[in-house]
Amino acid sequence: MRGVCFATTISLLTTGTLLWLAHSDNIPKVIELLGLDFRLALPSMFVSLVLISVLFMGPLAMLYMEGDVSWEQLRRIPQSLWNQPTWMRNYLVGPLTEELVFRSSILPLWLIPLDPHLSIWLSPLIFGIAHVHQAISRIIRREDKVKFILLATLAQFMYTTVFGWIAAALFVRTKSVAGPIVAHVFCNVLGFPDIQKALSYPRYLVVFVVGLLGFFGLFEPMTRQGVFIK
């Protein structure tokens, strides 16, 4: 994890230096463009958490109705993070470093020559591709048949790219990386939604659709400047 943290720091410093040169030594402006303005952190986290919770309304309802989660399990999360290195990597260090690299370090540079909407759509492709390397190691270790590994990798690429679109939009709209980090942790904890089960049970499917429509309906008004984000 030290190597990842070091690489993340170098990425931030590199992007910060380039932005500093581009904006005539305006350090407050550079901090804002990197999404590191602490004054915007809490509004960004609030908006992002509400939106991502609405989007995952289906998976959350499924977990609750099937009794797969309890308050006792939630209470033990801090202890598990401390005692299990994989939890620390997946639910804390991973989301933090990935958002600082793919949002704070990469996206501001894309926003200089490109339209914000185009940057939001294109930059997450790098985020999706960055997760494909896992397929290579799985094929080398012969963990499964190649076609199954490739299908799983394609599904992961699509999921991470879609999340990248959401995170990039939150970064641009809320002007803070704090919200995307919270959303990333949330998605990592819940994992990939069980679409197959949702399609098999109408009551789950309805909640999935309501959550999806609610997310799209709330995204623009909640991230509009002057509502929660100043």
List active site positions: 98, 131
3-state DSSP assignment of residue 229: strand
CA angle 111, 100, 69 (to 5 degrees): 120
Distances (CA, A) of 97 to 52, 114, 212, 214, 226: 20, 24, 27, 29, 29
Rounded to an integer, what distance in angstroms lies between the CA atom of residue 166 and that of residue 17? 27
* DSSP state string for 25-77: T-HHHHHHHTT--GGGHHHHHHHHHHHHHHHTHHHHHHHHHTT---HHHHHTH
- Exposed (0-12), middle (13-18) or buried (19+): which is 56, by Cβ within 10 Å? buried
Write the secondary structure of 100-145 as one string of H (helix), E (strand) and C (coil): HHHHHHCHHHHCCCCCHHHHHHHCHHHHHHCCCHHHHHHHHCCCCC
Rounded to an integer, what distance in angstroms lies between the CA atom of residue 230 and that of residue 227? 7
| Phi/psi at 63 (5° precision) | -65, -45
